[in-house]
Structure 1
Amino acid sequence: MICTYGDKTDVKWQKRHSLPQIIVITEDGKMNENAGKYVGLSIHECKKAIIEDLEKEELIVKKEVLKQSVGTCWRCHTPVEILSKHQWFMKTREMTDEVIKWTEKVRWVPAFAKKRMIDWALSLDWDWVISRQRIFATPIPVWYCIKCGETIVAKKEWLPVDPRFEKPKISSCPKCGSNKFIGETDVMDTWMDSSITCAVHAGWPNNPKTFKKLFPADLQPNGLDIIRTWDYYLMVKHLALFGIAPYKTVLINGMVRGSDGRMMHKSYGNYVEANAVIEKYGADALRQWAASGGSTGYDIPFRWSDVEYGKRFLTKLWNASRFILMNLSDNFKMENKIYKFETLDKWLLTKLEKLTEEVTEALENFQFNIAIEAIRNFTWHSFCDHYLEAVKPRLRASKGDSSEAVRYVLLYALYRIIQLLAPICPHITESIYQLIKPMLPMSNEEKSIHLTKWPTSNKSLISPEDEKIGELIIKVIALIRKLKAERKTSLKTQLKKAIVYVKEEDKEALNKHLDLISQVCFVNTIEIKPLKDESEIKVEIII
């Protein structure tokens, strides 16, 4: 005899041993007439009353506090009771082998998500319950003959139909001839609708040409928590209808955690509204946090400091853009011609083309954190901190091959940066694009940055030799500026002398760029000496 179910184990035992059921709980959580004198009490009240009665009868031997796992409502945390109800099912367990076969064929990002899908399919104790006792949902198009109980299923041409308000389009029951029917009052599980989205998005059932072209879906993105629902239900539904997996790649994102480390949720009090973040720092800063917060598929902690860092980067990029535009004449135009690039130009272009390769590969593999960090590191340091500072003396000249080349590189690099950044920061990149668009070649003048062709790496601009020499020059400049800062001396203070210690094989290359270093660092004389014991460059300054 079963009068209540503690968990799914009780359900399985009742089914396995054909135990009779005595239903004592109503749908509104009250005790019914089968509960005897406890009828009308809530579940909590009934438990309390039973204990009091047992104590009166001196039948309780011992009381102790126990810790146990109890299923509760995710929203209000009320303990969940299992009720026995007639339901509609889809036969999914018999499809398990097929589900696993197609799951293995699909690309899962990250890879561990595939195991979660397979483990879920293997763990199911019963088929998919597709009916719900609610008011608003997709109706189940079924009627029952009042006289004989025959089930009448709607034909395709009857749809859409709601059996709660409409009669079946037949004159009589095919089994007993009665003309009295009652419609199914249950509705479908919401996943019954969601589980057909891949086909519907591709054009099914009204556009077979589009469906053939777009199905299966290239990408199915969703959270880690709904692998067992959406991904699984999509799989079984489409396998049943079309015999093929509905998606080629499944991209799984983790959950957002609050500052206390727990899942972000209103009931925990650690919830932050997206609008509050956007109003303070802007949408692009928030999007940077989402992209950089963690590896794909893993939980992302929310920290205000991460969003603030994103905002500072955007400010840096905007200021750099303004500086570049201030140093470009109104009639400046990027032209497809040969420019006389200097070593630092080639250094930056090499790093830029390598950045393009790195970001492209990262995005193709859904490694958004790697992509955004690479863009920010290049923009903030290689481009702004080093290159912009090093080429300022060349920008003072309005004409000449060097002046023309550096202006081309500045615009070329800025355009490439905003192209790479556009998927993550669509707003600031669009604003910058509209400012530089008149200066771009006609073939590049799309209406929006988001309509431009994704950049590919120009291998001809990659020069390992110039990159090595450029790193050497930048390192020397950075060390001199650092020493000035440590001595609390203005960066524009003219130094009498700087002594640079480098390896023997680097002396010749560095000697060719002493004038550049002198101009950038405000040094009268630079002396090169051989590096003895230290493996790194060493610099001394005389004020």
Structure 2
Amino acid sequence: MTELPKTFDPASIESRWYAHWEEKGLFRPERPDATPFTIVNPPPNVTGSLHIGHALDNTLQDIIIRYERLRGKDALWVVGTDHAGIATQMVVERQLNAQQQKRTDFTREDFIAKVWEWKAESGGAITRQLRRLGCSMDWANERFTMDEGFSKAVIKVFVELHKRGLLYRDKRLVNWDPHFRSAISDLEVETKETQGGFWRFRYPLADGVRLADGSDHIVVATTRPETMLADMAVAVHPDDPRYRDVIGKDILQPITGRRFKIVADEHADPELGSGAVKITPGHDFNDFEVGKRAGMKAGDMLNMFDADAKVVQTADGKVPDTYLGMDRFDARKAVVEEMKALGFLVPHVTKDKEGEEVAADFEPRTIQTPYGDRSGVVIEPWLTDQWYVDAETLAQAPMQAVRDGAIEIVPRSWEKTFFNWMENIQPWCVSRQLWWGHRIPAWFGPRIISTLEGLKPAFSFANDPEFATKSSEPDYAVVAETEADALAQLADYYAQLGHRELVVCDSSSEAMTVLLQPGFNLDTHLPVWRDNDVLDTWFSSALWPFGTLGWPEQSETLERHYPNDLLISGFDILFFWDARMAMQGMEFMGQVPWRKLYLHGLVRAADGQKMSKSKGNVVDPLGLIDKFGADALRFFMAAMESQGRDVKMDEKRVEGYRNFATKLWNAARFLQSNGVTASTAHEAPPAALPVNRWIIAETVATVQAIDTAMAELRFDAAANAIYHFVWDQFCDWYIELTKGAMDDETRAVAGWAFDQILVMLHPFMPFITEELWHLTGDRASELIVARWPQALAAVDTDAQGEIDWLIRLVSAMRTARTELNVPPGAKLPVIVRDAAEATQRRLDRQGAALARLGRVESLTFGEPPAGGAAQIVVDEATFILPLEGVIDIAAEKTRLAKALAAAEKERDGLGGRLSNPSFVEKAKPEAVAKAREDHAEKSAEAERLKAALDRLG
């Protein structure tokens, strides 16, 4: 046994112990016969750094996995990182830009090689940081969403979904990022408030048609005037009497001259503006749905932008040449100016301070504008061909699993949100126009449109997919796991034309170049090409629970560890990741991916605001680890994680848990100095003394409390149970009660109880507990693979009752002395009145401890002498502390009465404010919460002061 240093230094032990655990393979000990327990980490982006949300999420997972490992299970925590398509490509492109290079200077293969080089050099930052947090993951089997085995699973799932009719190519609106020239997911869209405008324009009715009021036009309003170049309808509410007679009539767009119909649709709100809405289905999600309801096919909807969000000619050729090539925001200005010049702009009229009318081109408005969270550019709804998954069909099985209890969502309050989203789920766009990622296993060729005998075969070549919105006929596509299989399918398709040699191209652009080469003969050769797109990152991460276990190979690991037991996830990725794992797991494995889904909240700033770099309130978890140690940060996360609530960051609390670790360290030093060593038994040693029987019972009760809390995933309850046991029962009372009375029995019990503390605390504070485990005795194994305490020892309720009584009595005496300003060193006589026989026996046994801890000079039974005294009632007995000559009783009464009046005045003032509905309803929530806290504090203070005054008689 090594003598403990005087001070606890987290930095000196954390890296040492983590390296030891990992080197010895203790994160996944060999336990083939044990019950399996499996969790998977939400794979962080390979570009990422540890942020405070990671710290919460991974701390909770590590607590669970260490707990189950200590309980003897074959505990597997699958670890890996996500290839993060857009984020990673952006990082590498920035590096190239710094060298005056760009992605398109390289071939696709050469660029991807550079990404792999970056990953090898810089992609491990997040995993190193997870180690600093203490995450005991199975690093020996670390996965990456682009590794060979996982990629095989991704391709197989894509092909199988296509075969089953659950994955298809379709033309729909997507969130288009003009910077990356790619579709992005809803999660990658950040909505910001921007200052914009509301423009109103007159659209003339065609063919001399007029409204009921005689008007020859309809006024429409828009925040995006530029899109009128692709307008295809004006919508009015079917019950709006102003427009009922013109539904189905033609109306004209002034700039393009395009004629289109007035359609009836409930999307048009009669109470909003003029009640008429211009419909641009190719550039607005709501308009897209209106267009579909009006009978427009997606392929016929007009597109006026290219991939850079610059104006291009629409399929009907109606856009004036002057607009072609314009940036969308320049086009906005130009459209407004032209409509104004043509007399079709309706000015916005307001009155100035003098009451004079003032006209402006538009009404200023605050607009909710979508931005790409990484590119920072405004997202454009864009009509394009993409690959989609039939999410509605796949959602049925997970919904039923939740209804049947096969998947338990904790807290249950999230079930309603889950069902609401799943029941209204939209097709999932899974293609991205990037180079880094899983390339879509699809190949294309020209579609045969004529094979009539005697006629030359005709083909339809769609444009480059990037500009496929103009295509009238889609290319012919095949999906296969390998290029050889794809070419075989294409050869079969073209066999009806006779033999033609297939010219395999890497992209549609290359195929067009080949096709346009002089002398290229379609009678003998046909260009075919690979889909240029990659899969959405969430598509691959949806396979995480089984793809990481070796699927599609039917491995022993897969059979043993699927389904997973638990998934811990932030609620913010419930739909983007959790729900999609449930869909894919049930579709391909026939079972739920995990039996329980725990959704935790966000970590917010101390004032409750969401953390963001722009607000300057982001907290760096690595900085907290440097300052207070990983154990303190971990314990803070656990103690503050209350189901259904966000965690408010509080550095003072983290510091408090560092102090808690120091208290544990000092307790170990005290025990060591008194000859207490490590226990040699898992079971509690025999004990006769009440104080030892009491601490054994308290230990067992704490084990039971933690087991119950962990079964219910109440991390805060588990952390608070061990915290109060260590700080209050063991350090404050047991050590105090046994000072100067360390016999062999007490040493054995103290050593055993401290060992149980180290094991119970280990999931929360792994570093200090492992260090103390080895410094306090010779051990057969590391603490990380020790045995969890058994909550089976007989609980001595008599001993518990007696020591609890002693603690209450000493605490009451100490409180009274403090409140009455009794000098700390003064010893007081105590007279006991009305004590039952059981209490008298307790006083006989605990008299020495009471005298030492309560600073009691003498203990007698009977009536007190005349004069002021403090009276304390514990159970049936009254304990009287005479104070004549110890304090100035009259002055003390005056002091307490004055303090009581001040506390009551503040309490009543706060109570009056809180009873005022105007304050509660109109004040900021944090101000109301603060007033309630202050009211409760002053109420308690007043009660304490009144009790102290009453004690003086």
Q: Could you tell me the TM-score, scaled by structure 1's length?
A: 0.87
Alignment partners' CA distance in 2, 1:98 and 1:325:
58
Matched residue, 1:477: 810
Matched residue, 2:514: none
Q: CA deviation at 1:330?
A: 7.0
Q: CA deviation at 1:61?
A: 3.0
Contact 1:140 1:184 in 2 (8 A): yes
Q: CA deviation at 1:338?
A: 5.8
Q: 1:127 aligns with which of 409, 427, 437?
A: 427
Letter of the 1:433 counterpart:
W
The alignment's C-alpha RMSD in Å is 2.9
Matched residue, 2:480: 154
Alignment partners' CA distance in 1, 2:323 and 2:678:
89
Matched residue, 1:293: 640
Q: Residue deviations 1:51-93, cap 9 Å, x none?
A: 3333444422324333454433344664322101101112221
1:224 paired with 2:571, answer: yes
Contact 1:356 1:456 in 2 (8 A): yes
1:449 paired with 2:783, answer: yes
1:54 paired with 2:355, answer: no
Could you say if the C-alpha distance between residues 527 and 334 of structure 1 is closer, same or farther in structure 2, counting changes exceeding 3 Å?
Answer: farther
Could you say if the C-alpha distance between residues 43 and 530 of structure 1 is closer, same or farther in structure 2, counting changes exceeding 3 Å?
Answer: farther
Q: CA deviation at 1:193?
A: 0.9
Contact 1:109 1:251 in 2 (8 A): yes
Matched residue, 2:847: 514
Letter of the 2:285 counterpart:
K
Could you say if the C-alpha distance between residues 238 and 489 of structure 1 is closer, same or farther in structure 2, counting changes exceeding 3 Å?
Answer: same
Contact 1:469 1:510 in 2 (8 A): no
Could you say if the C-alpha distance between residues 471 and 500 of structure 1 is closer, same or farther in structure 2, counting changes exceeding 3 Å?
Answer: farther
Alignment partners' CA distance in 1, 2:386 and 2:602:
32
Matched residue, 1:398: none
Alignment partners' CA distance in 2, 1:209 and 1:175:
41
Matched residue, 1:89: 388
Gaps of 5+ in 2: 1-231, 233-278, 349-361, 449-474, 504-527, 865-870, 887-953
Matched residue, 2:413: 112
Contact 1:348 1:387 in 2 (8 A): yes
Contact 1:143 1:184 in 2 (8 A): yes
1:540 paired with 2:855, answer: no
Alignment partners' CA distance in 2, 1:406 and 1:526:
26
Alignment partners' CA distance in 2, 1:119 and 1:310:
40
Could you say if the C-alpha distance between residues 378 and 501 of structure 1 is closer, same or farther in structure 2, counting changes exceeding 3 Å?
Answer: farther
User: Which structure dedicates a bigger proportion of its chain to strand?
Assistant: 2
The equivalences for 1:99-248 within 5 A come to 99-104=398-403, 105-124=406-425, 126-146=426-446, 148=448, 149-155=475-481, 158=482, 168=486, 170=488, 173-177=491-495, 178=500, 179-180=502-503, 181-248=528-595
Q: CA deviation at 1:525?
A: 1.2
Alignment partners' CA distance in 2, 1:242 and 1:143:
28
1:280 paired with 2:627, answer: yes
Name the stretch that deviates more: 210-219 or 18-27: 18-27
**Secondary structure, aligned partner of 2:789:** coil
**Secondary structure, aligned partner of 2:381:** coil
Alignment partners' CA distance in 1, 2:284 and 2:862:
80
Letter of the 2:414 counterpart:
A
Matched residue, 2:765: 425
Contact 1:221 1:250 in 2 (8 A): yes
Letter of the 1:154 counterpart:
A
Letter of the 1:214 counterpart:
H
Alignment partners' CA distance in 2, 1:6 and 1:500:
87
Alignment partners' CA distance in 1, 2:676 and 2:594:
51
Could you say if the C-alpha distance between residues 338 and 245 of structure 1 is closer, same or farther in structure 2, counting changes exceeding 3 Å?
Answer: closer
Alignment partners' CA distance in 2, 1:239 and 1:332:
48
Letter of the 1:457 counterpart:
A
Contact 2:600 2:645 in 1 (8 A): yes
Q: CA deviation at 1:311?
A: 1.0
Letter of the 2:599 counterpart:
I
Q: CA deviation at 1:16?
A: 2.8
**Secondary structure, aligned partner of 1:437:** coil
Letter of the 2:543 counterpart:
I
Q: Residue deviations 1:402-454, cap 9 Å, x none?
A: x112212221221111111111111111111111232xxxxxx4421110111
Letter of the 1:136 counterpart:
W
**Secondary structure, aligned partner of 1:138:** coil
Q: CA deviation at 1:154?
A: 1.9
Matched residue, 1:44: 329
Query: Rg: which structure is higher?
Result: 2
Alignment partners' CA distance in 2, 1:495 and 1:533:
16
Matched residue, 2:618: 271
Alignment partners' CA distance in 2, 1:112 and 1:221:
16
Q: 1:10 aligns with which of 264, 269, 287?
A: 287
Contact 2:872 2:880 in 1 (8 A): no
Letter of the 2:329 counterpart:
H
Could you say if the C-alpha distance between residues 484 and 271 of structure 1 is closer, same or farther in structure 2, counting changes exceeding 3 Å?
Answer: same
Percent of aligned positions with the same letter in both sequences?
Answer: 23
Q: CA deviation at 1:184?
A: 0.4
Q: 1:315 aligns with which of 662, 665, 668?
A: 662
Could you say if the C-alpha distance between residues 473 and 533 of structure 1 is closer, same or farther in structure 2, counting changes exceeding 3 Å?
Answer: closer
Could you say if the C-alpha distance between residues 23 and 539 of structure 1 is closer, same or farther in structure 2, counting changes exceeding 3 Å?
Answer: farther
Could you say if the C-alpha distance between residues 76 and 188 of structure 1 is closer, same or farther in structure 2, counting changes exceeding 3 Å?
Answer: closer
Matched residue, 2:741: 394
Q: CA deviation at 1:376?
A: 0.9
Q: Residue deviations 1:274-310, cap 9 Å, x none?
A: 1111111111111011111231343211111121111
Could you say if the C-alpha distance between residues 529 and 202 of structure 1 is closer, same or farther in structure 2, counting changes exceeding 3 Å?
Answer: farther
Gaps of 5+ in 1: 396-402, 439-444
For these two proteins, the number of residue pairs brought into alignment is 519
Contact 1:106 1:248 in 2 (8 A): yes
Contact 2:408 2:596 in 1 (8 A): yes
Alignment partners' CA distance in 2, 1:336 and 1:223:
39
Q: CA deviation at 1:110?
A: 1.1
1:381 paired with 2:728, answer: yes
1:526 paired with 2:867, answer: no
Matched residue, 2:829: 497
**Secondary structure, aligned partner of 1:309:** helix
Could you say if the C-alpha distance between residues 468 and 530 of structure 1 is closer, same or farther in structure 2, counting changes exceeding 3 Å?
Answer: farther
**Secondary structure, aligned partner of 1:455:** coil
Alignment partners' CA distance in 2, 1:392 and 1:221:
44
Higher relative contact order (CA 8 A, sep 6+): 2
**Secondary structure, aligned partner of 1:84:** strand
Contact 2:676 2:747 in 1 (8 A): no
Q: CA deviation at 1:4?
A: 5.8
Contact 1:472 1:510 in 2 (8 A): no
Q: 1:410 aligns with which of 750, 764, 767?
A: 750
Could you say if the C-alpha distance between residues 426 and 248 of structure 1 is closer, same or farther in structure 2, counting changes exceeding 3 Å?
Answer: same
Alignment partners' CA distance in 2, 1:433 and 1:318:
11
Alignment partners' CA distance in 1, 2:671 and 2:823:
24
Letter of the 2:792 counterpart:
N
Could you say if the C-alpha distance between residues 381 and 529 of structure 1 is closer, same or farther in structure 2, counting changes exceeding 3 Å?
Answer: farther
